[in-house]
Amino acid sequence: MSPNTTTQENADDALGGIRFLRERGFTKIGIIGHSEGGLIADKVAANSDLINFIIEIGGPVVSGDEILVFQNEILLKDGGLPDEYIKMYSDAMRGMLESQKENENVIFDETKYEIFSTENSLNPVIAPLAKNLKDNFSSLTPWLKYFINYNPAIDIDKITVPILMLYGEKDLQVPPSINVPILEKKFPRIDIKVYPELNHLMQHCLTGKITEYAEIEETFAPDVLKDMKEFIFSLE
């Protein structure tokens, strides 16, 4: 994936493919999207009438900046950092992302954040964290800038076709703990299922960590495939 290609551009490409199929006589077309693919499915289904259903696997419902902060907190916690350091990092990261969101007249002032203090610049643990923030979030790629500004719930609200949302309980990239409650509250018509012991890739796992993915022999949990099949055939 190019860092210069946004989710919107990927959605435009997907819609082009769907139009191609429609022009050749296919009348029942759905989208199955994993992770960002779920966002692409949302955008296509919300802005066209060419889709009959969508299935999202580990699809975000909250905005990208919330997802990014959560992911970084998990990584730092996994690295054994104290809670106070993680909070310090997260507070600054939120401020940096907020300052680069559209329609937000926010100027990032690093002097307001403890992680950038003169004292912490000499701390052998905190100083690299501060450098990481500046290296990764001072200037955003087009993809990342779009991602932090996009709120998928707005498009989900426009979708009228059947939706199935699937999550792994141990997903640490798009955790059900921050996405499913929003779905249940705002979109009760959507079918939702959370699978115990599955990670972001829908593999049975021990921890859900990214480093564990390649160590797992299973490609995709069969029970998830079964539920997807049953959902699709129930629409006929």
**Residue 102 pLDDT exceeds 90:** no
Mean pLDDT across the stretch 7-12? 96
Q: How far apart are CA 179 and CA 223, in angstroms?
A: 22
Q: How far apart are CA 159 and CA 49, in angstroms?
A: 9
pLDDT over 90, % of the chain: 87
Band the pLDDT of 1: cuts 50, 70, 90. Answer: low
Average pLDDT, the chain: 94
CB proximity list for 12: less than 8 A, separation 6 or greater = none
Residue that is written with structure tokens 């559209």 in the block: 102
Band the pLDDT of 4: cuts 50, 70, 90. Answer: confident
pLDDT tens digits, 30-54: 999 999 999 999 999 999 999 999 9
Model pLDDT, residue 104: 58
Model pLDDT, residue 103: 64
**Residue 105 pLDDT exceeds 70:** no
Question: Which tokens is 158 given?
Answer: 């426009």
Question: Which tokens is 229 given?
Answer: 């099949």
